[in-house]
Chain A
């Protein structure tokens, strides 16, 4: 069975600083995909970034990068130059094998302060 663990219920970061949100996963399937989503207070789920298990390089999308450490089974999200608008819940999710379903972690609430 696959499992996603986000151990940080809440995080604070100062504006313009970088922050790392932790995500570890567990699966025995060699083929999987890892996703990060942002959920602001308005409630919508916004796709941020994707990393495939066979990807050689860490994924990057603008200020978002994914620190993928396969041996440690971790897929941490790094947000550089934090902005007030980054304040939100962040969810890590995994898809395994040929299954399309996503398994989500419990989320980390990020608060960006002045």
Chain B
């Protein structure tokens, strides 16, 4: 059973547009929600992360929106650029207090930004 569900599976956006990727989770013990960017043949790279005590976090062009009651969170990429073309994974972890732990990943979204 997929504990973290991600959509869409693929996304095509024009340069300068907004890319939106959504995730939903089931385990209410999760308390850490990161987004990773992965280029082909490379390891996932942490983009931005949020804890459930805030509803939004912004870092540069990347924003996470978090809805605790709906158990959903999303990544918004503003002013999308061709260099943003990659696979994006949401993830969740938690139930370990302040200790880190294994990440449960979503299925991934392949983003393509057209010039």
Indicate, yes or no, whether A interacts with B: no
